[in-house]
């Protein structure tokens, strides 16, 4: 990738478990596969969170639409004593299988409220993220754009899934600074993907500090930019992004937020997620917008506890 720090790399070993480097109880490792059905305004995700120093694993399957309207959800935890095999992880009714390292993954679930059978296929190599992009949240972190295909079933319905999304992995101590605000926005389509990291400044400017742009067969790091958010009742309703990459290209996209989910992600992290209908050079593409708050900053802004 043009402009990426050569010291930041992702290897096939990163598909596996990252043993803690200390006995810090806040050390966690996460696996996250988001996906959606745009015509339904439906977002969903599979998330696994391991706390190896505490000997615990937690998994969440969730789907929503509208303004934080939950459609289905299952969450469970279990004790882990041995090093988990994250290339072939089985917990509860969930099975996450690496079909091809750093490339293809199958995610299956059979539960009380939903079931799914999905395959994630990458469209670009995994993008490693510098720890300073999300201070206190990661020792290692990467995301990777791809296409998700398969089937989702809930409430007697069967929905075909075909969307461009990402997969996300992170590991390390999770200690949120009291006043932390972070964000990101991303989307994908055939031959196109972008991911932007947003760090709002104290004066309210939503500065873009990193990310990537895949277009015209070329990948390059995003080096600067601005996200502008239009709020409605305190939540994002519309977005504009203008960013520049290390290849000298300019990214301009506009987005309409189709749904909203505000949730407590644990470890003092509050997150607001939106499914977004983006427009790029006359083409519609789908993705998400995220705003991440420390719990203290969220409450100090006069918002209710999640």
Say whether pLDDT at 281 is over 90: yes
Residue 293 binned pLDDT confidence (cut-offs 50, 70, 90): confident
Residue 264 binned pLDDT confidence (cut-offs 50, 70, 90): confident
Give percent of the chain above pLDDT 70: 98
Cα atoms in the 13 Å half-sphere on the side-chain side of 261: 20
Say whether pLDDT at 61 is over 90: yes
24-173 adopts what CATH topology? AttH-like fold (2.40.370)
Angle at 296 between CA 172 and CA 78, to 5 degrees: 45
237-247: per-residue pLDDT in tens? 999 999 999 99
Cβ neighbours of 120 (radius 10 Å): 23
124-161: per-residue pLDDT in tens? 999 999 887 776 678 899 999 999 999 999 999 999 99
Say whether pLDDT at 297 is over 90: no
The alpha carbon torsion through 271, 276, 280, 285 (nearest 10 deg) reads 120
- What's the length of the chain? 306
Cα–Cα separations (whole angstroms), residue 164 to 161, 169, 217: 10, 17, 16
CATH fit for domain 180-306, picks 3.30.70, 2.50.20, 2.60.40, 2.40.128: 2.40.128
Cα 69 from Cα 74, distance rounded (Å):
15
Please give the mean pLDDT across all residues of the chain: 93
Residue predicted with more confidence, 178 or 94: 94
Cα 268 from Cα 292, distance rounded (Å):
10
As beta bridge partners, residue 184 has 197, 290
Residue 135: the pLDDT is 65
Contact 113, 96 (CB under 8 A): no
175-199: per-residue pLDDT in tens? 767 777 889 999 999 999 999 999 9
Residue 268 binned pLDDT confidence (cut-offs 50, 70, 90): confident
Cα 28 from Cα 25, distance rounded (Å):
8
DSSP letter for 14, please. Answer: G
| Burial environment of residue 101 by CB neighbours within 10 A (0 to 12, 13 to 18, 19 or more) | middle
- Domain ranges within the chain, ordered by starting residue: 24-173, 180-306
Residue 204 binned pLDDT confidence (cut-offs 50, 70, 90): confident
Nearest one of 169, 243, 239, 257 to 213, comparing CA atoms: 243
Instruction: Report the predicted TM-score, pTM, of the whole model to 2 decimal places.
Output: 0.94
């Amino acid at each position: 990738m043009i402009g990426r720090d050569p010291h930041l790399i992702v290897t096939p070993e990163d598909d596996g478990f990252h043993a803690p480097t200390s006995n810090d109880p806040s050390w966690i490792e996460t696996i996250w596969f988001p996906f959606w059905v745009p015509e339904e305004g439906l977002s969903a995700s599979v998330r696994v969170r391991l706390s190896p120093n505490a000997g615990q694993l937690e998994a969440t399957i969730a789907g929503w639409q509208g303004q934080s309207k939950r459609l289905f959800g299952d969450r469970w935890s279990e004790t882990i004593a041995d090093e988990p095999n994250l290339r072939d992880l089985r917990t509860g009714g969930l099975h996450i299988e690496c079909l091809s390292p750093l490339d293809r993954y199958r995610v299956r679930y059979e539960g009380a409220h939903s079931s799914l059978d999905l395959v994630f296929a990458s469209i670009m190599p995994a993008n490693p993220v510098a720890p300073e992009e999300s201070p206190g949240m990661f020792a290692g972190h990467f995301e990777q754009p791809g296409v998700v295909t398969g089937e989702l079933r809930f409430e007697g319905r069967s929905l075909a899934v075909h969307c461009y999304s990402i997969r996300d992995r992170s590991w390390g101590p999770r200690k949120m600074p009291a006043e932390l605000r972070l964000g990101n926005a991303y989307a994908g389509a055939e031959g196109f993907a972008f991911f932007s990291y947003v760090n709002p400044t104290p004066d309210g400017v939503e500065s873009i500090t990193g990310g990537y742009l895949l277009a015209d067969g070329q990948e390059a790091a995003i080096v600067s930019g601005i996200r502008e958010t239009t709020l409605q009742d305190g939540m994002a309703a519309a977005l504009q992004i203008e960013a520049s990459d290390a290849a000298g290209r300019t990214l301009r996209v506009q987005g309409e937020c189709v749904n909203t989910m505000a949730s407590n992600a644990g470890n003092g992290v509050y997150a607001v997620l939106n499914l977004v209908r983006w427009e790029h050079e006359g083409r519609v593409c789908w993705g998400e917008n995220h705003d991440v708050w420390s719990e203290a900053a969220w409450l100090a802004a006069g918002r209710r506890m999640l």
